[in-house]
Amino acid sequence: MTSAIRITRRRALAQGQWPDSVPPLLRRLYELRGATCVEQAQPRLAQLLAPARMGNIDAAVRLLAEAIAAQRRILVVGDFDCDGATACAVGVRGLRMLGARHVMHAVPNRMVHGYGLSPALVEELAALQPELLVTVDHGIACHAGVAAAKARGWQVLVTDHHLPGEHLPAADAIVDPNLSGDGFPSKALAGVGVIFYVLLALRARLYPSGRAPIASAAGPDREARGAAIPERPDLTSLLDLVAVGTVADLVPLDVNNRALVAAGMRRLQQGRGCAGLNALIEVSGRDASRLCASDIGFALAPRLNAAGRLEDMALGIELLLCDEPGRAREIAALLEQINAERRAVQQVMTDEAEAAVARAMLAADGHAPLVACLFDAQWHPGVIGLVASKMKERLHRPVLAFAPAEPGSEQLRGSARSIAGFHIRDALAAVDARCPGLIGKFGGHAMAAGLSLPAASLEAFRQALHAHAAQALDESLLQAELASDGELLPEEFDFVHAEALRQAGPWGQGFPEPLFDGCFEVAQWRLLKERHLKLVLRCAGRSEPLNAIHFNGWKGREPAARLRIAYRLVSDDYRGGGAIQLIVEHCQDA
C-alpha cells in the first residue's frame, strides 16, 4: 500500500563563509538548508529575537505583573499533548520564579472535556476560584470557553501559536505570533515557546535593572532591614522543557527555534534537566550525554504524550513539575506502561485503517482516494492522530481519522495530517465556508489539524472535502519524494563524520536530519524478527564493507544484488569502539 517513492537531491540554497572548524561535509549540509554562516547554522541564545517584538506582549505582561503584585490566584491551563504539557510546566515554574505565590494548573481530559478551554472545563475549574486564567498552546479558537471564564469575572490571557480564525475570543490579552499584523519574525514558535517569550518579557518588566524587582512582596523596607536583594531569576533553566515541547510539536526549526532547542538540549545532555525529563530519558534507555533531537521525537515525546492519549495529561504535567527524583521515576515508569498500551492500540487501529483503504482502493480500480477520511466506531480518539500520520506516510495523501468523542457518542473527533502543498487547516476553513454548520469546530496548522462534527455529517463532510481537494490539490504533489543530500565520499563513511552529524543539529522539521543516497552492492543479508533487514554493503572506492539495517524493510523477497539506498550515517552505539552503520530509509533496485 506504500506509495512509490522518488529519490531527489537537494540543491544548495546559498553559498556561505565558514571557518576552518566547520568540516566540508557540514558546510555542504548547512548550505543545502539555506544557512550561510555559523550564526545561522548553529545559533546561540544571544541571537534570540527580542520579546518586545511580539505583538500584544505588553498587554500580557501588564496582566501578569498586576496579578503578581496583588498576589492573585493564577491558573495556567495546558493542553493534552507534549507541547501543551511542557508549556503548562514552563508557565507554572516561570511564574513562581518571578514571584507569583498562588499559581495553579489544570488540563482538559480528552475524553471528558474535549480540546482546549471549553465551557465544561470552565465550570469544573470554578472550584479553584482563579482570578487570572492563562491558556498555553490553545485558546485562539476557544471563543465559548473564554466567554464562560469572563462571565465568571475572571481575567483571561490567551497564549497560543495556532492559526487564528476570522474572529478572536474576547480575552483580556492574546499573544500569538500568527495574529494578523504581528511583526514578530518567527511564526514557528511552539506553544511552549510563546509562553517562554511572555515570561522573558515579564522578567524584563519586573527586573528592569537586571536584579531587584520593581516591588518586593516582602515590603519596601526589605533592603533597609538588611535582607539580600533577590537575584534576577534564570529562566534558561526552563529551556529543557522548551526544547522538548518544540521538537515534539514538529514546528519548523528556524534559526530562533534552533537556538532555543540547542540550549535546552545542552541542559539535558549535561544532566541539568528537570527531574521529570531526566526520568523519561532513563526509562527510555537513552544516554543523556548523547541525547539528540530525534530522541525527543521518538523516545521522550511519545511517552509523555501517552498520558494525554489514553489517560489524563495531568499525570504528564505532574511529572514535569516534579522535583523529587524518586517520585519522578515512579511516574515515568507508569508512563512507560501507558505508552506500551498506546503502541498496541495504535497497531490495531492502523491495521484496520490499512484494511479499510485497501477495500476502498479495490472498489476504485486500485486508485487511492485523493483525501482519505477513515472512521471506526471502536477507535480511540486519543490515537487517531497517530493513525492519520502513519496512513499519510504510507499513502502520501492527506488523511483524516475519526473516532467517537467517547464510547457510543454521536459526536466525532477527527485528526488530520497533510502533505506539503496542501494546507489542511485552510481546507477545513474552505469546507466550513462552503457548508456552514457541517463542522462543529476546527483548528490547526498547514500540516496538522483537528476538528469535531456529528457522526451523521461524516459522509457529507467527506464529499465536501473531496470536492475542495479536487480543485485545490495539485496531483503532482501526490508523488512521494525523498529529499537526499547526495552521496557521501568514501572517506566520509567513518565515526568522526557520524559524530559530527549527530552534534551538528538540532535537526528536525524545516531543518531536516541529513539523508544521503547511493548505489551499493549487497554482500550479505539476513532477516531480523521477520520484518527487518540486516545488510552488509560495499561501495566503490572503499575496501571495508558497511553494516546497514532497514527497519520494516522485508518485502517478502530477497533483496537485489545491487541497490540504490537512501540512508542516514550514524554511530553504532550497540557495537561501540568507533563502529558506524547506515540506517536505511528507502531502497530500490539499482
What does the alpha-carbon distance between residue 494 and residue 514 come to, in Å, rounded to a whole number?
15
The burial class, CB within 10 Å (0-12 / 13-18 / 19+), for 54 is buried
pLDDT of residue 211: 61
What does the alpha-carbon distance between residue 297 and residue 201 come to, in Å, rounded to a whole number?
29
Assign 3-class secondary structure to 352-392.
HHHHHHHHHHHHCCCCCCCCEEEECCCCCCCCHHHHHHHHH
pLDDT of residue 362: 77
Distances (CA, A) of 193 to 89, 218, 261, 583: 12, 31, 10, 32
pLDDT of residue 219: 42
What does the alpha-carbon distance between residue 277 and residue 237 come to, in Å, rounded to a whole number?
13
Q: What is the dihedral of CA 485, 489, 493, 499, to 10 degrees?
A: -50
Domain boundaries, the chain: 5-34+483-589, 51-218+232-333, 368-478
Bridge pairing between strands 173-175 and 155-159: parallel
H-helix segments, 130-254: 143-151, 191-206, 239-248
Among 453, 445, 411, 406, which Cα is nearest to 426's? 445
Among 391, 375, 510, which Cα is nearest to 451's? 375
Joined grid coordinates for residue 114: 474535549
Strand ranges for 160-270 from DSSP E: 173-175
CATH 3.10.310.30 fits 368-478, yes or no: yes
What fold characterizes domain 5-34+483-589?
OB fold (Dihydrolipoamide Acetyltransferase, E2P) (2.40.50)
Which residues in the chain land under pLDDT 50?
215-227
What does the alpha-carbon distance between residue 261 and residue 239 come to, in Å, rounded to a whole number?
7
Taking only the tens place, the pLDDT of each residue in 133-150 is 999 999 999 999 999 999
pLDDT of residue 3: 58
pLDDT of residue 367: 80
CATH 3.90.1640.30 fits 51-218+232-333, yes or no: yes
Is the Cα dihedral 364, 368, 371, 376 positive or negative? positive
Look up residue 503 and give its DSSP letter: H
The burial class, CB within 10 Å (0-12 / 13-18 / 19+), for 40 is middle
Domains 5-34+483-589 and 368-478 share a fold: no
Tell me which residue has cell 482570578: 131
pLDDT of residue 229: 53
